[in-house]
Amino acid sequence: MLLRAAVTASSSSSLPLFNSENSRLAPILHRGSKLDRLVFSATKGSSNNRILTGVLFEPFEEVKKELDLVPIVPQDSLARHKFHDASEAAINEQINVEYNVSYVYHAMYAYFDRDNVALRGLAKFFKESSEEEREHAEKLMEYQNKRGGKVKLQSIVKPLSEFDHADKGDALYAMELALSLEKLTNEKLLNLHNVASKNGDVQLTDFVESEFLGEQVEAIKKISEFVAQLRRVGKGHGVWHFDQMLLNEEAAAA
C-alpha cells in the first residue's frame, strides 16, 4: 500500500512523559485541527524534555478511492477466455484418473518393498511410476488454473494391497494391471482431447498432445514388453533376473 509519512519533533515540555533516569518510550496522542497523530516520545533524565519523533502513516486519497472500488475476493477469473465448461470438467476428471493410478502404483511399490517379497527393481519402478502420475495430475491442475478454471478434487478408490496370483505370480499380475492402467489413462486423455476439439479449444488440444499423448504411447509400449518378458520367464528364478534387470536399468538411467 502506498503510504504518506509525517515525522514531527517538538521541544515543548507540556506533554506528559515518563519520569525515569533510563530511556523510556511512551505513546502520546496529539489532536490537531486536521488529524490525530500518535507520537512516540523518549526521554532520559530530568533535563531532557525534547520529543524525539512523531510518525503518522495513512493511505493517499487516490489509493483509498481505488481500494473502495476493488472487491476483496474476485468472484470470476480474469484469465478465462474461450474455455468451455465441458473442458473444465474433463480436466478435473483427468486429474482424478491420474491420482487414482498414482495411488495404485504406490500400493504396488509398498507390496514389492516388503521384506518377504524383496523385489527392489519392481518396487523402484512402481514408486517412480506413482510419482510420475502425481506430477501429471499437478500439471493438469496448473493448466486448469492458467485457463481460469477451478480445480475440484474428487474421491480416489482404495487400491489393492496384495498382488500375488496363484497362476501368474505377483510380478506378472502387477505388470498386467499396470498395462491396463496405462491404457485407461490413454483413453481418458483421448476423451479430453476430443472434448477440446468439439469446443474448438486449440490450445487445450495442443497441451494434451505435447505434454501427454506421446509419453503415454511410449509407456504402453514399454510395459507391454515387460509383460511379454514376464510371461516367458514364469514365476520362479526368472522373476529375480527380471527384477535385477529393472534395478540395473533404473540405476543406469539415473
Got the DSSP string for 125-147?
HHHHHHHHHHHHHHHHHHHHHHT
What are the angstrom distances between the C-alpha of 242 and each of 55, 98, 139, 172, 230?
75, 27, 32, 11, 7
Does 136 show up as a binding residue in the annotation?
A: yes
Q: How far is CA 22 from CA 18, 19, 48, 189, 231, in A?
A: 9, 9, 11, 74, 87
Residue 248: give its domain's CATH number.
Answer: 1.20.1260.10
- Average confidence (pLDDT) over 102-127: 98
- Tens of pLDDT, residue by residue over 151-210, are 999 999 999 999 999 999 999 999 999 999 999 999 999 999 999 999 999 999 999 999
| Ranges assigned E (strand) in 32-168 | 36-43, 51-59
What is the reported pLDDT for 70?
59
Overall domain count for the chain: 2
pLDDT tens digit sequence for 151-161: 999 999 999 99
Q: Is 154 annotated as a binding residue?
A: no
Residues 54 and 7 placed together within one structural domain of the fold: yes
**Final residue in a domain of this structure, among 69, 101, 122:** 69
- Quote the domain boundaries for residue 46: 3-69
Residues 158 and 41 occupy one common structural domain: no
Question: HSE of 75 in the Cβ direction (CA atoms, 13 Å)?
Answer: 1
One domain for residues 24 and 112: no
Residue 22 burial (10 A CB sphere; 0-12, 13-18, 19+) = exposed
182 is in an annotated binding site: yes
Please give the sequence-ordered ranges of beta strands (E in DSSP) within the chain, or none if there are none.
3-10, 24-31, 36-43, 51-59
pTM comes to 0.70
